[in-house]
Structure 1
Amino acid sequence: MAEFTTILDSLSIAIRLGIHPHEVEPQRVMVSIEMTVVYPEPLREDAIEQVLDYDFVRAGVLALTERKFALQETLCEAIAALCLGDARVRRVRVRTMKTDVYPDAAVGCEISRER
């Protein structure tokens, strides 16, 4: 068995996220994802077909920008479910950060989910 951590870090998205009137328009959110990916045996080839291709995660997160979320927690849950859709992902950690809510701080949420 082989176990790797696949990381998609600091993906900047514009999404409608929040409960306040000023959050009606899309705002910038930074998304970071760490996935523990398990393979049945050590990798034998240097080929993308041997591993989880993180393009599907990036594309899935970008597709979520079409939705409106009230809470960062539910956005994190949606991203975690997307990642766990690949049976090789054993564990996922998702962090979202609203970067422009306050002039002096970002606000965020982080969750971990596993099979």
Structure 2
Amino acid sequence: MAEYTTILEGLAVMIRLGIHPHEVEPQRVLVTVEMTVGYDRPPTADSIAEVLDYDFVRTGIRALAAERRFALQETLCDAVASLCLSDERVQAVRVRTSKTDIYPDAVIGCEIRRRRNG
């Protein structure tokens, strides 16, 4: 088996995320995803058909941002991890979210790791 890490780093989305009254409106959140992807063999044809097309992750995160309101970054991270693990080739995923505009002197974030069961 060949394992690769596919990374989507710093995707900026406007999302309704938070528990405070001032977080009712969408705010800028950065999302980073690292997926451990397993293949039967290394790609040989240099074709996207041989590997995971990460467009589904970017599109899925943008859809979550447009469709849902999240109270917690932990819940958002879990939703993104579930999206990634919906592709059977994804063996493990690490998701990090960062609220960049909550504090003037710090970024606040959350990170989770999930592995495929079995």
Tell me the TM-score normalized by structure 2: 0.96
- The within-5 A match list for 1:20-99 is 20-65=20-65, 66-99=67-100
Structure 2 counterpart of 1:72, which letter?
Q
- Who is 2:17 aligned against? 17
Mapped partners of 1:43, 1:31: distance in 2 = 27
Structure 2 counterpart of 1:76, which letter?
C
Structure 1 residue ranges, 4+ long, deviating more than 3 angstroms after superposition: none
Secondary structure of 1:105's counterpart equals coil
Mapped partners of 2:43, 2:64: distance in 1 = 32
Structure 2 counterpart of 1:64, which letter?
L
Secondary structure of 1:38's counterpart equals strand
Post-superposition offset of 1:83: 0.0
Structure 1 counterpart of 2:42, which letter?
P
Long gaps (5+) in structure 1:
none
Post-superposition offset of 1:41: 1.1
Q: How many residue pairs align between the two structures? A: 115
Mapped partners of 1:42, 1:13: distance in 2 = 33
Mapped partners of 1:21, 1:12: distance in 2 = 22
Structure 2 counterpart of 1:55, which letter?
D
